[in-house]
Structure 1
Amino acid sequence: MSIPVGQQSKMNVPSTPQNDAVELASVTVSSRLPEFLCDQPRLWFVQSDAVLGPQKHSDDAKFNLIVSKLNKNIIKQVSDILLNPPETKKYETLKARLLTVYEESETSKFQKLCQDL
């Protein structure tokens, strides 16, 4: 008899009030995070950090929550990190890459401002 995928993880971890609370907290946090905003990555991280901060999630948990909010095109930009994450500071590494890729440079902002004049 095969066990549905969603049920397998529940069978491996005994249900305790603490485990149930951690799982519920992760679901709640995930539902409060919007999809990643390519046009406003720094503001998106400000919002995400405001949601994640009080929860005291581990580096792995924050990394996984952020990955869950990335669409197909964004995942392509960070696929090397996702396929081979660093041992430590996974969240910070992913955050730095996303900001590098999607944040507009100061030069680009200046050029855009000059064009608008």
Structure 2
Amino acid sequence: MAVHRIASLFLHRDSSCYIGDPDGPNGFWTHTMTDNTAANAVALKLPTFWTLWPRVWFDQAEAQFQLWQITSDSTRYYHVVSSLDQETAAQVRDFIQSPPKEDKYPAFKALLLRTFGLSRRERAARLLHLDGLGDKSPSALMNEMLALAEGHKPCLMFEQVFLEQLPDDIHLLLADADFSNPREGTPRAPLQRPYEGLFQVVRNNRSTFILDIGGKEEVFMMDHLKPAHLDLQQPVEVPTLRRRGRPPKPRLV
């Protein structure tokens, strides 16, 4: 009497498996995800897709893929699809309904960047038509402009556009500033100590302070200052500034 075997699944240490009758000719080999990879794919949850900054969103998403060791094209693609809100998904529904069989993730990423990202001309137009400083700090405005530049080194025109967004008094004080490292804000001399002072505040706004430094007005961003807690019953001593620049050459007598 013949004994019929049911289809069975045999797992091996190398994460391969054989599906079908173990003694029959019609089974086939396949590969499965390791336990850690499967758990990571389930645990990861990306934030909702940022239609205003799609490239930055993908930078963060791909950092998460690296941390969670997710390399599967399909897994990455479905994570991105699940991060879209209703309105965004509707704009790319034709791709979602019929994705390619291979390279789904890079094709979908390119589509989203084309649909929601800014072209070079659009980024240039935004840089040339900024709305001023508004409620932002100068450092926040600089960060926004650098994001629009997308890695391009700031040039003379870039610096001038930035300065024209600032109030007149700050614009004047920063007119000769060195923007070789634009994220640092107000330039600092080499080997300068983190804090000096006390210095008198001449005037300030929500993001910057203008201080009297040795009889000369200089502008500083708020995050470069440290508050001084004084006893108003005691006289305030203003420090004597160290001479900056090269020391004078000795004179022969």
Name the TM tier (shorter chain): 0.7 to 0.9
User: RMSD between aligned alpha carbons?
Assistant: 1.8
Structure 2 gap ranges (5+)? 1-32, 131-160, 162-253
Is 1:109 matched up with 2:123? yes
Q: Match of 1:65?
A: 79
Provide the TM-score with structure 2 as the length reference.
0.36
Please give the TM-score of this superposition, normalised by the length of structure 1.
0.74
Partner of 1:87: 101
**Aligned counterpart in structure 2 of residue 28 of structure 1, from 22, 43, 59:** 43
State the alpha-carbon separation in 1 of the partners of residues 128 and 58 from structure 2.
Answer: 28
Percent sequence identity over matched residues? 31
Q: Which has the larger radius of gyration?
A: 2
| Conserved 8 A contact 2:53-2:117 | yes
Counterparts in 2 of 1:87 and 1:108: CA distance versus 1, 3 Å: same
Q: What is the one-letter code of the residue matched to 1:27?
A: V
| Residues paired across the two proteins, number | 98
Q: How far apart, CA to CA, are the structure 1 residues paired with 2:120 and 2:53?
A: 14
More helix by share: 1
- Structure number with the bigger relative contact order (C-alpha 8 A, sep ≥ 6) is 1
Distance 1:20 1:53 in 2: 17
The structural deviation recorded for 1:27 is 2.4
Larger strand fraction of residues: 2
Q: Which runs of 4+ in 1 moved over 3 A?
A: 18-23
Q: Distance in 1 between matches of 2:72 and 2:126?
A: 39
Distance 2:128 2:37 in 1: 50
Residue ranges of structure 1 left out of the alignment (5+ in a row): 1-17
* Structure 1 residue 81: Cα displacement: 1.0
Which range moves more in the overlay, 71-80 or 49-58?
49-58
